[in-house]
Chains A and B, each alone.
Chain A
Amino acid sequence: MVPTKHTLVALVEDKPGVLNRMVSLFRRRGFNIASIAVGSSELSGFSRVTFVVDGPLAMVEQVRKQLGKVVDVVKVSDITEENIVIRELALVKVKATSATRSEIIQIVDVFRSDIVDVAQDSLTIEVTGAEQKIESLLDLLRTFGIKEIVRTGCIAMTRGGAGTANGSTKGRDNEQTP
């Protein structure tokens, strides 16, 4: 099955307004962004952006090509079909009483996540992983009562030696396949 969620990674020049240029394009063309995460890259003056885009393949292709036209965008790749590592970080503040605290800690251990803050009536959990892992943890925690969730959005990288959306050429392949 063709996944409807696509992961796109872009290498962009770290210039004022570059994020605005990209996000404005999504808004204007009616593309739906599920998440976006931005940070500096290994190259000085360049940032790497991970987009998760929801929609049919033809739309995602348009997203990729339109992003490629943004002058400050050096390269865009759709890495959905590649062998990739995807990670997201979430902070979850969950209600906890003396009766439930230990049970929550057990769950947190199973998920190999961390308790980063403890208060009288709550625990704050830091969890890292692919989206499904975070969703599963959240499902379990919901029974205790979730007070707050903050998520970073996904970041992604291809496995192995090959780089993810780097190098000097833009994602402007010559449309060899329709």
Chain B
Amino acid sequence: MKLTGAQILCESLLKEGVDVIFGFPGGAVLPLYDTLPQYPALRHILVRHEQGAAHAADGYARVTGKVGVCLATSGPGASNLVTGIANAHLDSVPIVAITGQVARPFIGKDAFQEVDITGITLPITKHNYLVLEVESLPRVIKEAFYLARTGRPGPVLIDIPRDVFLEQTEFHYPQKVEIPGYKPTLQGHPAQIKKAADVINNARKPVIISGRGVLISGAFAELKQLAEMAQIPVITTLLGISSFPESHILSYGMMGMHGMAYANMAVDACDLLIAIGMRFDDRATSKVSGFAPNARIVHIDIDPAEIGKNVRVDVPIVGDVKRVLVALNKLIPPAEHIDWIHQVDEWRRQHPLVVPRTSKKVLPQYVVHKLYELTKGEAIIVTGVGQNQMWAAQHYWYDKPNSFISSGGLGTMGYGLPAAMGAKVGCPDRIVWCIDGDGSFQMTLHELATIHQDQIAVKIAVINNGFLGMVRQWQQLFYGKRYVATPLTCPDFVKLADAYCVPALRVEKKEEVAPAIQQAMKHDGPFLIDFVVEPEENVYPFVAPGTALSQIIEEPRKEVTAWSQQSTP
């Protein structure tokens, strides 16, 4: 039986196990939307802006490990996806973006709602396709999903002209893909693994840096085994958060620009750095020439182009993190690094994560801490970008894999709400909190309409300081406190949520924080809390850009309380 291109697309999505599409209709994809009701197993969630569709697919993919799917029409629909695709690209998130294109006879004629989306997304996709014959559609979809989820994952875009959706052909879904130029290296080279084991077994002050690759590869248990067997402190990158249980005795939190002082000190002083599934981003390493100056570096990553890109590496291993760690762990006998662990513990005692003891208004750190306590650390936290993101990274402690979802590489303000929406759709049984800033939230808050329409029970904590806080912090510290274009006059978020039929509360006092969170969690459905917080609170510790990781600016105020990662709430 012959099927239309639109039907072939739907059939193929089902073959790939897709159960939800985040999308927005338009002229070029109308034939597809007209076909969707024939496929009730494909749940379509109507977003309010295509950027939200891409972020939602991204959030969905990060929590489920499956490929997220977003859909947009040609022209502005497609170009609105761009930020979301770039975000997924930098954070290695598997999404497939499907865009409509003008009908084939109109391509290249500057037709209505025509943009060259394959050209535009060339540098921000793992691969992309313009489908010019309906016969190639099943193969393209098969390849797109395969490329998106295998190797180093990433976004793949499929651009489909309107008339291809209408054309008919016999439907045969290919059993396997054949891409001659795509053969990711999965097994690490045994000689390299042996070399890595040798340096690990001879190290006196080793440190593991765990990145998002550990989460992607599902190497949670293998990482833990390595750390415990050889007694190695584990530090994560921002995106590596939740790859190692933060309540574990060997966990020393996040490194980098706003990382824990003791984590950065350990990286600075170690004699061996085992970097696993991370890419030495500048926010993690700070000044490269001053990075881990005394360390030999073992770098495990699936992407050969990441080896030696930013820092010199002594023992590179290209391969899937999990497979490499399985092989490596066989060569690691039990070891002790008591003196070194004591040293790092001592740094933690001397330079703990601290919070000011007194404040006029609610402290944002306190809000995050209360969220941690009241969710028992079991929520999926999705963040915006800025101070809210850093406080969420620092003051909530993550034990379960994929429970911290954040825009790391691109630093996309507005990521929070739509990504939280995708995360909740992907994990309906988990509590999903979106911790967002008042600035970040306003970039995509229209998705409140989506979470109301589809009753996606995302809980939103707006950390409202009336500033574009992170930029303000830099203006305070580096631009003589000249607050240019950072003070925000915000709308009344409670009224706004009310207008979107999302129940909401405002919290202005410390004692209101916990009851508000409890009320939000009791409510069966989406809920927003507007936390009006201390306006000029800064994120500490802080490593200023262009300085070495060891040059840590710590909380300058004296009246502080130390929160240890091991302290039980």
Chain A residues within 8 Å of B, Cβ to Cβ: 12-13, 16-17, 20-21, 24-25, 28, 58, 61-62, 65-66, 68-75, 168-170, 172-176, 178
Within 297-347 of B, Cβ neighbours of A (below 8 Å) are at 303-305, 307-309, 312-319
Within 182-208 of B, Cβ neighbours of A (below 8 Å) are at 182-185, 188-189, 191-192
Pick the most buried of A58, A172, A176: most chain B CB atoms within 10 A of its CB: A172
Knowing that A65-B305, A66-B305, A175-B192 are A-B contacts, what are 6 other residue pairs whose CB atoms are under 8 Å apart, sorted by A's residue number?
A12-B181, A62-B308, A65-B304, A68-B305, A169-B183, A175-B317
User: Would you call B316 and A178 a contact (CB within 8 A)?
Assistant: yes
A20-B122, A71-B181, A169-B183 given as contacts; is B308 within 8 A of A174 (CB)? no
Judge whether B179 is part of the interface by a CB distance below 8 angstroms: yes
List, in ascending order, chain A residues with CB within 8 A of B487's CB. Answer: none
The secondary structure that dominates the B interface is loop
Q: List 27 A-B contacts (CB under 8 A).
A: A12-B181, A13-B180, A17-B122, A20-B122, A21-B122, A24-B123, A28-B123, A61-B308, A69-B305, A70-B181, A71-B127, A71-B181, A74-B180, A74-B181, A169-B183, A170-B181, A170-B182, A172-B183, A172-B184, A172-B185, A174-B192, A174-B318, A175-B307, A175-B316, A178-B307, A178-B308, A178-B313
List, in ascending order, chain A residues with CB within 8 A of B192's CB. Answer: 174-176
User: Would you call A174 and B180 a contact (CB within 8 A)?
Assistant: no
List, in ascending order, chain A residues with CB within 8 A of B305's CB. Answer: 62, 65-66, 68-69
Judge whether B147 is part of the interface by a CB distance below 8 angstroms: yes
User: Would you call A17 and B118 a contact (CB within 8 A)?
Assistant: yes
Q: Mark B454-488, 1 if CB is under 8 A from A, else 0.
A: 00000000000000000000000000000000000
Judge whether B126 is part of the interface by a CB distance below 8 angstroms: yes
User: Would you call A172 and B313 a contact (CB within 8 A)?
Assistant: no
Alpha-carbon separation in the docked complex, A62 to B183 (Å): 18
**Pick from B119, B130, B304, B312: contact of A172, CB under 8 Å:** B304
User: Would you call A71 and B304 a contact (CB within 8 A)?
Assistant: no
Distance in Å from the Cβ of A59 to the closest Cβ of chain B? 10
What are the 4 closest A-B residue pairs judged by CB atoms, nearest first? A65-B305, A174-B189, A175-B316, A74-B181
Distance in Å from the Cβ of B365 to the closest Cβ of chain A? 39
Q: Give the residue name and chain of the B residue nearest to A171 (CB).
A: B304
List, in ascending order, chain A residues with CB within 8 A of B130's CB. Answer: 16
Distance in Å from the Cβ of B351 to the closest Cβ of chain A? 33
Distance in Å from the Cβ of B184 to the closest Cβ of chain A? 8
Q: Give the residue name and chain of the B residue nearest to A27 (CB).
A: B123
Distance in Å from the Cβ of A78 to the closest Cβ of chain B? 14
List, in ascending order, chain B residues with CB within 8 A of A65's CB. Answer: 304-305, 307
User: Would you call B122 and A172 a contact (CB within 8 A)?
Assistant: no
- How many contacting A-B pairs (Cβ < 8 A)? 73
User: Would you call B308 and A69 a contact (CB within 8 A)?
Assistant: no
Distance in Å from the Cβ of B86 to the closest Cβ of chain A? 12
List, in ascending order, chain B residues with CB within 8 A of A176's CB. Answer: 189, 191-192
List, in ascending order, chain A residues with CB within 8 A of B123's CB. Answer: 24-25, 28
List, in ascending order, chain B residues with CB within 8 A of A12's CB. Answer: 181
List, in ascending order, chain A residues with CB within 8 A of B184's CB. Answer: 172
Distance in Å from the Cβ of B444 to the closest Cβ of chain A? 27
Alpha-carbon separation in the docked complex, A28 to B127 (Å): 16
Q: Give the residue name and chain of the A residue nearest to B118 (CB).
A: A17
Distance in Å from the Cβ of B483 to the closest Cβ of chain A? 34
A65-B304, A178-B308, A178-B313 given as contacts; is B189 within 8 A of A71 (CB)? no
List, in ascending order, chain B residues with CB within 8 A of A62's CB. Answer: 305, 308-309
User: Would you call B314 and A178 a contact (CB within 8 A)?
Assistant: yes
Q: Give the residue name and chain of the B residue nearest to A18 (CB).
A: B181
List, in ascending order, chain B residues with CB within 8 A of A170's CB. Answer: 181-183
Alpha-carbon separation in the docked complex, A74 to B313 (Å): 26
Alpha-carbon separation in the docked complex, A21 to B129 (Å): 12
Q: Give the residue name and chain of the B residue nearest to A58 (CB).
A: B308
Q: Give the residue name and chain of the A residue nearest to B126 (CB).
A: A71
List, in ascending order, chain A residues with CB within 8 A of B119's CB. Answer: 20
Q: Give the residue name and chain of the A residue nearest to B313 (CB).
A: A178
Alpha-carbon separation in the docked complex, A151 to B317 (Å): 41
Q: Give the residue name and chain of the A residue nearest to B187 (CB).
A: A174
Within 105-159 of B, Cβ neighbours of A (below 8 Å) are at 118-119, 122-123, 126-127, 130, 147
Q: Give the residue name and chain of the A residue nearest to B315 (CB).
A: A178
User: Would you call A71 and B147 a contact (CB within 8 A)?
Assistant: yes
Q: Give the residue name and chain of the B residue nearest to A63 (CB).
A: B305
Q: Give the residue name and chain of the B residue nearest to A74 (CB).
A: B181
**Pick from A25, A61, A69, A174: contact of B319, CB under 8 Å:** A174
A17-B118, A21-B122 given as contacts; is B181 within 8 A of A175 (CB)? no
A17-B118, A21-B122, A69-B303 given as contacts; is B181 within 8 A of A174 (CB)? no
Alpha-carbon separation in the docked complex, A16 to B129 (Å): 10
Alpha-carbon separation in the docked complex, A176 to B315 (Å): 8
Distance in Å from the Cβ of A85 to the closest Cβ of chain B? 25
Q: Give the residue name and chain of the B residue nearest to A45 (CB).
A: B180
Alpha-carbon separation in the docked complex, A71 to B147 (Å): 9
User: Would you call A24 and B185 a contact (CB within 8 A)?
Assistant: no
Pick the most buried of B118, B130, B189, B305: most chain A CB atoms within 10 A of its CB: B305
A28-B123, A58-B308, A175-B307 given as contacts; is B318 within 8 A of A72 (CB)? no
List, in ascending order, chain B residues with CB within 8 A of A175's CB. Answer: 189, 192, 304, 307, 316-318
Distance in Å from the Cβ of A42 to the closest Cβ of chain B? 15
A65-B304, A69-B305, A70-B181 given as contacts; is B122 within 8 A of A174 (CB)? no
Q: Give the residue name and chain of the A residue nearest to B195 (CB).
A: A176
User: Would you call B309 and A174 a contact (CB within 8 A)?
Assistant: no
Distance in Å from the Cβ of B154 to the closest Cβ of chain A? 10
**Pick from B122, B180, B303: contact of A24, CB under 8 Å:** B122
Q: Give the residue name and chain of the A residue nearest to B123 (CB).
A: A28
A71-B126, A71-B127 given as contacts; is B180 within 8 A of A168 (CB)? yes
List, in ascending order, chain A residues with CB within 8 A of B309's CB. Answer: 62
User: Would you call B185 and A71 a contact (CB within 8 A)?
Assistant: no
Within 244-277 of B, Cβ neighbours of A (below 8 Å) are at none
List, in ascending order, chain B residues with CB within 8 A of A66's CB. Answer: 305
Alpha-carbon separation in the docked complex, A47 to B150 (Å): 26
List, in ascending order, chain B residues with CB within 8 A of A68's CB. Answer: 304-305
Alpha-carbon separation in the docked complex, A38 to B215 (Å): 40
Alpha-carbon separation in the docked complex, A71 to B308 (Å): 21
Alpha-carbon separation in the docked complex, A2 to B85 (Å): 40
Alpha-carbon separation in the docked complex, A169 to B183 (Å): 7
Alpha-carbon separation in the docked complex, A168 to B179 (Å): 10
